[in-house]
Amino acid sequence: MKAVRFDEYGDADVLTVADVPVPDPGAGQVLVRVKAAGINPGEAKIREGQLHARWPATFPSGQGSDLAGVVDRLGPGVTTVAAGDEVIGWVDTRSAQAEYVVVDADNLAGKPAEVPWEVAGALGVAGFTAWAAIRAVNLTAGDTVAVSAAAGGVGSLTVQLARRAGATVVGIAGPHNQEWLREHGAIPVRYGEDLVGRIFDALLTTPQVDAFIDTHGGDYVEFAINELGVEPSRVDTIVRFDAVREYGVKSEGNAVGASAANLAELAQLIAAGELEVPIAATYPLDQVREAYAELAKGHTRGKIVLLL
């Protein structure tokens, strides 16, 4: 089978698509024929070695967490799915970007027929992270929350889930994403100089921000605390892990939200037309370098997906 591999830390040029043996599922596991696999900024940072202290790679390394596909074979003791089932899932073994992947049966949810493969394959990490961020800042009806990189892979879902929670949402994004945010119930605000002034001007009669979800990094944590006056306990960042120690903010993301129950709930919202996963681009597996190069540009609306 074909699978993405890299043998050393580096940019997207270290990625190859190699011929490797098809793995065998063990007890409680399932072999899935992958139809779509999402790509995520965290994977690029792991490959570049930026997160070696937190998530070291061992070489040769595979890549990828999100996936959607068809159950091919069952390992011993699996009764929750059957061969031929269409499923959405995730792995913690950095192996989803391949033609076949072994997945723990507990990490799978059924794929509704209404959910396209590219959307299903992009859902796991971004969906779990957005779900966890909403929970982390204790978002409730009537709150105002600001979201950085609000039209990105995680940000676009965070905005929609925050609106479902009854919050007023300020979406911080570039000019080309303002209309998309407006269409999804957010108040769009361009990033850049005098951001605090534009946010409070946009809020008009209620110039107060209760919570902040940072999906971008940079100095947004400091901005939320020092300029918007948000309590650190109601700031969640999925990028600035150092800010947890320095300021007492939260950093709850994919690991906190990862469950088959959450995956199934998000998939049902998509099937019902109540949640959108924007797909910026799709690439075949053998163009994985090009896919990550596109991601690295940093202006993607929604997700980039590998289709197999």
Q: What is the pLDDT of residues 7-37, one digit of tens each?
A: 999 999 999 999 999 999 999 999 999 999 9
| Region label for 76, one of left (φ > 0), alpha (ψ between -120 and 50) or beta (otherwise) | beta
Residues 6+ apart with CB under 8 A from 209: 144, 145, 146, 170, 199, 203, 224, 228, 229, 230
187 φ, ψ to 5°? -95, 110
- Judged on CB neighbours under 10 Å (0-12, 13-18, 19+), 255 is exposed
Q: Which residues pair with 6 in a beta bridge?
A: 61
Q: Phi and psi of 109, rounded to 5°?
A: -130, 155
Report helix, strand or coil for 269.
helix
How far apart, in whole angstroms, are the C-alpha atoms of residue 160 and residue 271?
15
DSSP string, 245-260: HHH--B---HHHH--H
- pLDDT recorded at residue 54: 83
| pLDDT for residue 207 | 86
Half-sphere exposure of 17 (CA within 13 A, CB side): 15
- Cα–Cα distance, 25 to 76 (Å, whole number): 8
What pLDDT is stored for residue 61 in this prediction? 94
Single out the residue of 123, 156, 121, 124 nearest to residue 285, CA to CA.
121
The predicted structure's pLDDT at residue 51: 87
**How far apart are the C-alpha atoms of 288 and 12, rounded to whole Å?**
8
Q: What percent of the residues of the chain are helix, what percent strand, and what percent coil, each to the nearest 5? A: 35, 25, 40
Measure the CA–CA gap between 62 and 22, rounded to whole angstroms.
13
Q: Which of 153, 118, 109 is nearest to 133 (CA)?
A: 153
pTM: 0.95
**β 211-214/144-148 pair status:** parallel
The model's pLDDT over 125-165, given as tens digits with 9 standing for 90+, comes to 999 999 999 999 999 999 999 999 999 999 999 999 999 99
**Along the chain (308 residues), what's the average pLDDT of each consecutive run of 10 residues?**
96 96 98 97 91 88 97 98 98 97 98 98 97 96 97 97 98 96 97 94 89 96 97 97 96 94 98 97 98 89 96
